[in-house]
């Protein structure tokens, strides 16, 4: 038996899904299991012991003839060719455990339809990335789909993941699907070289980058004001970010040079793999992050965290973990739950978070961990 698991969404989604993989293996103990993710996230799961193969999402979803000029019918032609190519990936079972799949040509539903399989299992009822009509039209693609009700739209992601396992026939406690990470000795050695630990100093990781919506970026000067308030605490700052977030990380790095209580500062944006970052976060005392995968990794590692949160999906992804050490800095507005369809010229729910609130939450997290 062959099982395909499709997780073509963002890194944070895959992090929150990672604890399910061992249980899917228990459901299909003799199957050959292939996990399909975006190419940039292969590093996270390529040594996972619960799967047999990792494959790039782009291999089954990209435009076969992207070089064609913008002619009428180009995408329909590519759609036909992609469906023809994907027949070679015939499998027994396809799982698309994505809460908010994308519709349309070359969307997630379309790719599931293009791969022959005896059984196709997905979710329905969430319209963040698809229309109601696209979701309803996808019914014919699947053998069965777990329904997300109206009152579950803001349900925490781990709970939805656990419900999906139950839908497959495996009932577990949510703590049994706590995220997992798989690193090796080289990742650990990189972290030890890159992040020196200093006595009587708090090692603070800052993950300031955002990818999906640049208006969610919390300005560098705000980090300065927040950290300067911790005037009685000596701090080493480690900045993490992806290659696409390097400019934002550089802004924060340049701003932090004005902090008198920062005695060590290194910007590792674009210089670490995902697994190296995981090992790096293990060496830090606290992680200050926007709503990113790094924040979820840190919570899963049971590190003290402060998440700088807006209202687009508040509660669906964060806060979670131990409320004594996993804190949130936010500015509540009546428009929370907007799915990032902001009604203001600036993202007020993030841009107007007072730096003092961030400072206070850092102190609470450190006290909760008995580090201050």
119 and 12 share one domain: yes
* Residue 220 CB partners (closer than 8 Å, separation 6+): 208, 248, 251, 252, 253, 254, 255, 256
Total number of domains constituting the chain: 2
Residue 182 located in a structural domain: no
Q: Note the pTM of the prediction, 2 decimals.
A: 0.94
Residue 245: pLDDT band with limits 50, 70, 90: very high
218 DSSP 8-state letter: P
147 and 194 share one domain: no
pLDDT digits 0-9 by tens, 286-340: 999 998 999 999 999 999 999 999 888 888 889 999 999 999 999 998 988 888 8
- What is the mean pLDDT of the segment spanning 96-104? 93
Residue 128 located in a structural domain: yes
Computed on alpha carbons and rounded to an integer, the radius of gyration of the chain in Å comes to 22
CATH number, domain of 360, equals: 3.40.50.2000
Give the integer Cα–Cα distance in Å for 348 and 57.
35
b vs e for 82-106, b when ≥16 Cβ sit within 10 Å of the residue's Cβ? beeebeebebebbbbbbbbbbbeeb
Residue 333 located in a structural domain: yes
273 and 158 share one domain: no
- What is the mean pLDDT of the segment spanning 56-63? 93
160 and 65 share one domain: yes
**More confident position, 146 or 310:** 146
Position 71 scores a pLDDT of 64
Position 77 scores a pLDDT of 82
119 and 227 share one domain: no
Domain final residue, candidates 177, 206, 224? 177
Is the pLDDT assigned to residue 17 strictly greater than 70? yes
The token duo for 162 is: 């656990």
For the sheet with 305-309, list strands across it.
262-267, 235-239, 202-207, 286-290, 305-309, 326-330
Range of the domain at 67: 2-177
Whether 121 and 168 have beta carbons less than 8 Å apart is answered as yes
Residue 230 located in a structural domain: yes
137 and 17 share one domain: yes
200 and 270 share one domain: yes
Whether 294 and 277 have beta carbons less than 8 Å apart is answered as yes
Give the integer Cα–Cα distance in Å for 372 and 364.
9
Instruction: For CA atoms 337, 341, 346, 351, give the dihedral sign.
Output: positive
Whether 75 and 107 have beta carbons less than 8 Å apart is answered as no
């Amino acid at each position: 038996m062959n099982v395909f698991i499709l997780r073509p969404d963002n890194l944070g989604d895959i992090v929150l899904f990672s604890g399910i993989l061992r249980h899917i293996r228990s459901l299909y103990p003799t199957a050959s299991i292939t996990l399909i993710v975006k190419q940039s996230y292969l590093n996270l799961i390529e040594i996972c012991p619960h799967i047999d193969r990792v494959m790039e999402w782009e291999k089954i979803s990209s435009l076969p003839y992207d070089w064609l000029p913008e002619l009428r019918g180009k995408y329909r032609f590519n759609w036909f060719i992609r469906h023809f190519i994907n027949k070679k990936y015939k499998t027994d079972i396809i799982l698309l455990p994505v809460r908010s799949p994308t519709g349309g040509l070359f969307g997630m539903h379309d790719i599931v339809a293009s791969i022959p399989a005896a059984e196709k299992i997905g979710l329905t009822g969430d319209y963040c990335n698809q229309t109601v009509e696209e979701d309803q039209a996808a019914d014919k693609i699947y053998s069965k789909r777990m329904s997300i009700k109206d009152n579950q739209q803001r349900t925490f992601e781990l709970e939805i993941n656990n419900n999906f396992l139950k839908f497959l026939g495996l009932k577990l406690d949510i703590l049994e699907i706590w995220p997992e990470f798989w690193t090796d000795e080289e990742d650990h050695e990189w972290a030890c070289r890159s992040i020196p630990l200093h006595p009587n100093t708090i090692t603070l990781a800052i993950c300031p980058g955002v990818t999906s919506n640049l208006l969610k970026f919390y300005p560098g000067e705000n980090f300065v004001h927040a950290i300067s308030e911790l005037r009685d605490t000596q701090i080493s700052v480690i900045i993490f970010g992806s290659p696409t977030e390097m400019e934002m990380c550089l802004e924060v790095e340049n701003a932090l040079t004005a902090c008198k209580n920062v005695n060590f500062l290194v910007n590792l944006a674009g210089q670490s793999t995902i697994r190296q970052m995981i090992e790096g976060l293990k060496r830090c005392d606290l992680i200050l992050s926007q709503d990113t995968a790094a924040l979820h990794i840190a919570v899963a590692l049971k590190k003290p965290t402060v998440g700088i949160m807006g209202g687009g999906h508040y509660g669906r992804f964060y806060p979670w973990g131990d409320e004594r050490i996993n804190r949130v800095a936010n500015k509540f507005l009546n428009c929370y739950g907007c799915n990032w369809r902001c009604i203001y010229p600036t993202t007020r729910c993030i841009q107007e978070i007072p730096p003092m609130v961030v400072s206070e939450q850092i102190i609470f997290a450190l006290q909760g961990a008995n580090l201050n």
